[in-house]
């Protein structure tokens, strides 16, 4: 197992083990992870700042060895029929069902999101496993009409090779599962580098996957490798020619640095980067519906989602009422320990996230904006944790330059009068992940989702920017990276396409009527 730790196969915890309290954490972590030997990487819980574990970062030699095992596993795994590969993922999904609450508690403990959201994240893993199982019998190609007599043309898909997955802290297990479940049914092996802020959930998933594969004869050693480390570990994956595909989730800055490294060796990337997402509230909108969506989209996960609602354009005719209701809703949000019932907003991941939020609010105020909220709370109770009030920033006029994508609960609110102008302002940011409009006007809804509308990869009508289903391909345009993960035909990114032509005749006609007599 990674880091020299003993491999632990997960067993459900007794009901009286409560990991929301320090006394229950040691037993919980041992059940998932085995004994950890200690090392240079300190993992602390954003819930209260306590140290959960100290792990050893993988050396360059250890990373090389893990990639070598993955490459060897790929040679065997690609020969396994796809429906059998799907059977392994079916078993993994069943393992996740049994471990759902325990794994969700670990997600909350390590990344700080409220337990309801963590349960939803593990459910995403289960759902993508179900999707991948069906996909394992539907890796369809095409039959193409040939212009030449006695020729058959076809397009088929083959496993691409070992896949490197670099995941972010805010969805420490679901986004990996989107990639891994599809890659494995497509015949690929997986090397996973989780965020250095949330490596424990990755090791737990490795343990759960090992349990699912324990009695699966075709599963080779090295099918799932986990690499522990920070930036240097990610760079090692980006530079390694043995990894055919690198799927990376993180900031636009990270993608801008990683993509050229992979491209330099002609590797393939799937990039899921930043999202400066907007909601438009039109005059005909159901304001009750819009309010719920905006508050969840902006404050859920403490604003630490790539699909978080960061900008809100409200029509002047409904703006006073809607903003007043929005502020009252913000005032009622319960902020606190994410394990507690009724808490809707947990902590930021760390002090750096808090400092970034303060800097963004200071910049907005310097540009004349009014700020409601944004204060740190519960510092006396949790001095090493960073709980904040979600902030509303009101601008009198549009200024996209000060509406930066800060990974924190900051919502910029601006007025609009003309829908075409609001759509243009929605599009006037470098990112292009998610956007939505609340309207009961059919023409407005159709315009927003047309080629003249939102330029985002995800465009919604009468629901928020956050909370995508696994059935659709997830991703965005522009500086969001252009990648697609999860549903639809995202599986093609983990395979290589081959056009095949078979001549079953006795002549050799050339395409396009070319003559070459010999």
Residues designated catalytic: 272
SS3 435: strand
Helix (H) or strand (E) run with residue 165 in it: strand 163-166
Q: Tell me, what DSSP letter sits at residue 461?
A: E
The residue among 142, 177, 136, 137 whose CA lies nearest residue 156 is 142
The residue among 240, 274, 51, 276 whose CA lies nearest residue 168 is 274
Neighbours of 329 (CB within 10 A): 15
Neighbours of 371 (CB within 10 A): 15
Residue 459 pairs with which residues in a beta bridge? 435
SS3 318: coil
Residue 487, CB-side half-sphere exposure with 13 Å CA sphere: 12
Token readout for 351 is: 């002090």
Neighbours of 372 (CB within 10 A): 17
Farthest-apart Cα atoms in the chain, separation: 89
Rounded (5°) CA angle 383-386-392: 140
Q: How far is CA 399 from CA 195, 306, 372, in A?
A: 33, 21, 18
SS3 490: helix
Residue 268 pairs with which residues in a beta bridge? 245
Q: Where are the alpha helices (DSSP H) in 242-400?
A: 252-264, 287-299, 319-332, 351-366
Strands (E), 337-468: 370-372, 376-377, 387-388, 391-394, 410-416, 431-432, 434-438, 458-461
Q: What is the dihedral of CA 322, 324, 325, 326, to 10 degrees?
A: 80
Q: What is the dihedral of CA 241, 187, 479, 306, to 10 degrees?
A: -130
Q: How far is CA 269 from CA 63, 248, 256, 495, in A?
A: 20, 8, 12, 12
Neighbours of 309 (CB within 10 A): 28
């Amino acid at each position: 197992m990674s880091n020299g730790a003993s491999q632990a196969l997960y067993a459900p915890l007794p009901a009286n083990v409560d990991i929301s309290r320090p006394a229950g954490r040691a037993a919980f972590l041992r059940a998932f992870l085995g004994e950890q030997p200690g090392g240079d990487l300190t993992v602390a819980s954003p819930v209260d700042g306590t140290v959960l574990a100290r792990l050893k970062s993988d050396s360059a030699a250890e990373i090389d060895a893990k990639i070598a095992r993955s490459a060897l596993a790929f040679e065997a795994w690609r020969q396994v029929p796809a429906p059998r590969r799907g059977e392994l993922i079916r078993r993994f999904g069943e393992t996740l069902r049994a471990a759902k609450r325990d794994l969700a508690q670990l997600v909350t403990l390590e990344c700080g999101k409220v337990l309801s959201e963590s349960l939803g994240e593990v459910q995403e893993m289960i759902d993508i496993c179900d999707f991948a199982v069906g996909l394992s019998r539907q890796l369809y190609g095409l039959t193409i009409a040939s212009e030449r007599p006695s020729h058959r043309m076809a397009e088929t898909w083959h496993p691409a090779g070992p896949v490197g997955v670099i995941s972010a802290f805010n969805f420490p297990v679901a986004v990996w599962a989107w990639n891994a479940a599809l890659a494995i049914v497509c015949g690929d092996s997986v090397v996973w580098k989780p965020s250095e802020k949330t490596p424990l959930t990755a090791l737990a998933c490795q343990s759960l996957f090992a349990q699912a594969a324990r009695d699966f004869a075709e599963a080779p050693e090295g099918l799932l490798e986990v690499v522990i480390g920070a930036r240097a570990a990610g760079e090692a994956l980006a530079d390694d020619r043995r990894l055919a595909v690198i799927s990376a989730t993180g900031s636009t800055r990270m993608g801008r640095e990683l993509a050229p490294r992979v491209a330099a060796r002609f590797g393939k990337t799937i990039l899921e980067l930043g999202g400066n997402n907007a909601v438009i509230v039109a005059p005909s909108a159901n304001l009750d519906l819009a309010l719920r969506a905006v508050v969840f989209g902006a404050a859920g996960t403490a604003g630490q989602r790539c699909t978080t609602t960061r900008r809100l354009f409200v029509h002047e005719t409904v703006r006073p009422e809607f903003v007043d209701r929005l502020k009252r809703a913000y005032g009622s949000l319960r902020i606190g320990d994410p394990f507690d019932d009724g808490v809707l907003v947990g902590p930021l991941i760390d002090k750096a996230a808090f400092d970034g939020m303060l800097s963004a609010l200071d910049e907005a105020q310097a540009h004349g904006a009014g700020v409601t909220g944004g204060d740190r709370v519960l510092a006396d109770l949790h001095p090493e944790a960073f709980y904040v009030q979600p902030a509303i920033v009101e601008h009198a006029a549009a200024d996209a330059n000060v509406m930066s994508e800060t990974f924190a609960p900051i919502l910029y609110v601006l007025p609009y009068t003309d829908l075409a102008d609001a759509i243009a302002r929605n599009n006037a940011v470098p990112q292009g992940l998610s956007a939505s409009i609340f309207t009961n006007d059919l023409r407005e809804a159709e315009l927003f989702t047309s080629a003249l509308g939102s330029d985002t990869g995800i465009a919604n009508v009468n629901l928020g920017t956050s909370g995508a289903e696994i059935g659709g391909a997830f991703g965005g345009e522009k500086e969001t990276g252009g990648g697609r993960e999860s549903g639809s035909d995202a599986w093609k990114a983990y395979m290589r396409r081959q056009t095949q032509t078979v001549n079953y005749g006795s002549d050799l006609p050339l395409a396009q009527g070319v003559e070459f007599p010999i």
